Amino acid sequence: TPQQSIFFGDAADGTRGSIIYDHIDDAFRIQAGGTGSQMTITGGSTGYVSSKALTAVISRSGTQSISDGTNTSVEWNGTIYDNFSMHDPGSNNGERIVMPVAGFYLVGAMIMWQGTSLTGIRRIQLTKNGAVIATNRFNPESSSDPRHECTMLDYFTAGQYATVQVFQNCNTGLNLLNGCRFWAVKVG
């Protein structure tokens, strides 16, 4: 057969885990918890090890009004990809990503500002359990690009979370647009 397998199970489910060798692409696949392959080892001269990463990417649809001169938490209302239920939609409009296991995480956000005002500043801040750990200040007078990004790498213990805050002071309210993204991926 094209595949040979070893299965592990319990009284409730005979296939809770498996090690599968696939002769078609010369790859070992390791599965745990009864869902898809969590790790693949490919063969040949270009062989590599890949694993299912702890990853969440969330977005916002519609606009969010950002008042002049106020730090505001971004309201995330859509999940693009979340393979370990890291997006916490029950917390203050789903504003946070919770890290399920301890490790280093790359966390970032991309904000889309509405409006053509070229005065004041824009700021994006990434927080860890409510404390600011990364800031990117943007002066719109130097660019007409509405995108604004901030990324950081930090160690999180299991259950700690990241959020995104924004600030602007152009003497009027500004909106965040569709297309804003917030992500976290475990990298170590």
Q: For 143-171, write each residue's pLDDT tens digit.
A: 667 788 999 999 999 999 999 999 988 88
The pLDDT value given to residue 48: 65
Angle ∠(173,175,181) on CA atoms, nearest 5: 145
What mean pLDDT is reported for the chain?
82
Q: Which residue has the tokens 């939609």?
A: 89
Q: From residue 147, how far is each of 38, 104, 180 by CA, in Å?
A: 34, 26, 9
DSSP 129-145: TTEEEEEEEE-GGG---
pLDDT digits (tens, 9 = 90+) for 92-135: 666 899 998 888 999 999 998 886 666 788 899 999 999 999 98
pLDDT digits (tens, 9 = 90+) for 2-32: 788 888 887 777 777 888 888 877 777 777 7
Query: Who's near 36: CB < 8 A, 6+ residues apart?
Result: 52
